[in-house]
Structure 1
Amino acid sequence: MLRFFSAAEVEAGLDYPRLIDVLSEAFRRDGETMPVRQSYEVGASGAPGHLLLMPAWQRGQALGVKFVTVFPENASRGLGAVSSLYVLLDGTTGQPRAMIDGEALTNRRTAAASALASRHLSREDAHTLLVVGTGRIAACLPAAHRVVRPIKRVLVWGRNPERALTLAGVFSRQGFEAQAVADLPEAVAQADIVSCATTSTQPLVMGQHLRTGTHLDLVGSFTPRMRESDDEAVCRSRVFVDTYGGALAEAGDLLQPMSAGRWQAHEVCGDLHELTRGARPGRIDKDEITLFKSVGAAIEDLAAASLLVGSPLGESFGQHNTFGVSHNKTTI
């Protein structure tokens, strides 16, 4: 029976402890294949519009596709620019099993991947988290990070102070000591973990403001033109990525320092496949600065969708999954 999962059901069915562990196992078992993402220009004359197809599969068990549309002029219609839907199918018969709210699925798995990286890269005693951004992914980050680190204090910075204050109130109700902040450099200097979830095209976090031992988590930008950190932040850090193919093709935070001759691709210290397998070391000492750059991978969508369908909200989907994947290359 085909089942539709609403955004509320996605949030209820994907608790972070299980989701982080499922993503860890998915990355540990499979790693990266050749990235495949199909993109089509589908807008009307003079009005840009894009359709993205992002597939992944678990041979003989499950396969799925995330459909994403990007229509930049939707703001004038009172609509969001990005819409998405995830379709999960049976890997043996090809029959549809579930349709899932794509935005909720993406937000949830993105925060969980961020926390998974933090498990390997942040200090074990990290207790202050700075959230840069006030959007829907930003709203998910503290709860995810709290699963892997003893996060007690959350600082919130946003371009719109009112939205930052509102989000801080949400975090307070979740049990955090939360406050909105106006001085971003000062907040960066106080944080153990700095987690950015924006679509900025200009650096927000400057390397000169990072104190020793900080973990910098960059999950927002997903095109070569976007960036959330400056060159100095990258150069001061041991850099890790979700997947090599995605990050080194799409992440402006890395591509722009490369273009400037400040940093090189071979300086990446590892990806989530290598971290979860123990093939590359994560944090080596308490004083180093670590940086995780995520642009999103389709393996995360399939793992999350499979967990959701196997949750109490859906039918049993199996307990011992291994994931084969064709990676998408954006966080959308």
Structure 2
Amino acid sequence: MKEREMRVLSLEDTRAALPFGALIAALDAGFRAGAEVPLRHHHFMKTPGAADDVLLLMPAWQQAGWGGVKIVNVHPGNAGRGLPAIASSYILFDRLTGVHKLLLDGGELTARRTAAASALAAKRLARPESRKMLIVGAGRVGANLAWAYRAAFAIEEIEIWSRTAASAEALAVELRRGGLNARAVPDLEAAVKRAEIISCATLSRAPLIEGEWLQPGQHIDLIGSFTPEMREADDEVLARARIFLDTDHAMVESGDIAIPLASGAISKADIEGTLAGLCRDDLRPRASAEEITLFKGVGSAIEDLAAAVLAYESLTA
């Protein structure tokens, strides 16, 4: 690859460049190394007679080495045009020269690094012998979660629950075609009680997981609540678990954390650490097989940068 040549990766190319085993390791290394991560930029673009379009910019850079920015366009009106509402790209650049090196599919990068970050957190928080997984939500991230966790644990059984039973069944069929032991389930409470790892990736605005359902030794992974109004777990889930976040931004960005903090159901003292701290200090804080652990992720530009660097290095190896 020439010094000033920028490689462009399609969705399929981006997927192939980010295998989950290597991606989980790359995120671990990325959190250890750290980076400058400004707050996400939101720009609202007015559209007469329609909902605002939104431009999101998510940059991160190292002191030396690499930098990058994810660009996301959210256009609600695209539903009427037969187009996806979200378009996303990621640009990786050389930190010294600013030369753009790689353009990746932002949606695929985000889905894969989100699932990989959850699996990385589980490697440090869940019981290593965990074999039974429940995926709540059957969307794009949910599909990636099965493979990410399979790269981190010897998962033997995967159950899938979705508000739309057909979606859960479709995902189960897809995973079975890939060789995984997966099945759709209709009863969320019963599935939660059976699972050792519970991973939620939904757009729910009201709690789905109830604390009274939890069993000793479980690990709960909450992905979907990425605004202050969204929730996937009730207050009792948070009260029963040891809580870890991907970054401190989750305390204001996620309703799963912000709402119980505001009501007093939990306090900041109940939040024991971040994924960055777990990786940096090489911690596995579970003290017993009976503890319930919880990881809440809202995403970090460090994850995007680490994934893009991995993709570039795999292309130039």
The question of 1:241 aligning with 2:245 is answered yes
Q: TM-score, normalization: structure 1?
A: 0.90
Q: Does 2:97 match 1:93?
A: yes
Aligned to 1:36: 39
2:303 is aligned, of 297, 300, 306, to 300
Verify: 1:198 aligned to 2:202, yes or no.
yes
Tell me the TM-score normalised to structure 2 length.
Answer: 0.95
Query: Partners in 1 of 2:285 and 2:267 — Cα distance?
Result: 19
- Asked if the contact 1:126/1:151 (under 8 Å) is kept, the reply is yes
Q: Which residue of 2 aligns with 1:136?
A: 140
Please show how residues 46-85 of structure 1 align to structure 2 within 5 Å.
46-85=50-89
Q: Secondary structure at the match of 2:316?
A: coil
Tell which deviates more after alignment, 145-154 or 182-191: 145-154
Query: C-alpha separation between the residues in 2 aligned to 1:127 and 1:284?
Result: 19
Secondary structure of the 2:294 match is strand
Q: Any conservation in 1 of the 2:137–2:201 contact (CA below 8 Å)?
A: yes
CA RMSD of aligned residues (A): 1.4
Aligned to 2:179: 175
Q: Supply the distance in 1 between the matched residues of 2:193 and 2:280 (Cα, whole angstroms).
A: 32
Measure how far apart 1:79 and its partner are. 2.4
C-alpha distance 35-249 of structure 1, shift in aligned 2 (>3 A) = farther
Structure 1 residue 188: Cα displacement:
0.4
Distance 1:6 1:306 in 2: 16
Among candidates 15, 19, 22, match of residue 23 of structure 2: 19
Partner amino acid for 1:148?
A
- Which of residues 273, 277, 281 is equivalent to 2:280? 277
The 1-side partners of 2:202 and 2:94 are apart by: 35
- CA deviation after TM superposition for structure 1 residue 281, in Å: 4.6
1:74 Cα deviation after fit: 2.5
- Residues of 1 paired with 2:293 and 2:211: CA distance? 11
Match of 1:315 in 2: 316
Structure 2 residue aligned with 1:123: 127
* Structure 2 residue 10 is matched with structure 1 residue 6: yes
> CA 1:303 to 1:220, structure 2 compared with 1: closer, same or farther past 3 Å?
same
**Equivalent pair of 1:270/1:280 in contact (CA under 8 Å):** no
How many residue pairs were aligned?
312
Amino acid of the residue matched to residue 56 of structure 2?
A: L
Question: For 1:310, what is the secondary structure of its paired residue?
Answer: helix
Q: Give the Cα–Cα distance (whole angstroms) in 2 for the partners of residues 165 and 288 of structure 1.
A: 32
Identity, % of aligned positions:
44
Report if aligned partners of 2:38, 2:60 keep a CA contact under 8 Å in 1: no
Instruction: Determine if the alignment matches structure 1 residue 267 to structure 2 residue 270.
Output: yes
Shift in Å, 1:248 = 1.2
Distance 1:282 1:47 in 2: 45
Q: Does 1:290 align with 2:284?
A: no
Distance in 2 between residues matched to 1:287 and 1:75, nearest whole Å? 46
Larger displacement relative to structure 2 (130-139 or 77-86): 77-86
Is the Cα–Cα contact under 8 Å of residues 243 and 294 in structure 2 kept in the other structure?
yes
Amino acid at match of 2:240: R
**Gap change, CA 1:210 and 1:203, over 3 Å in 2:** same
Do 2:218 and 2:293's aligned partners in 1 also have CA atoms closer than 8 Å? yes
Q: Which runs of 5+ in 1 are unaligned?
A: 317-332
Structure-2 change in CA distance of 1:72 and 1:282 (3 Å): farther
Deviations 1:84-141 (A, max 9, x none): 1101111111111111100000011111101000101111111011000011110000
- 8 A Cα contact 1:154 1:171, kept in partner: no
Q: Structure 2: which 5+ residue stretches go unaligned?
A: none
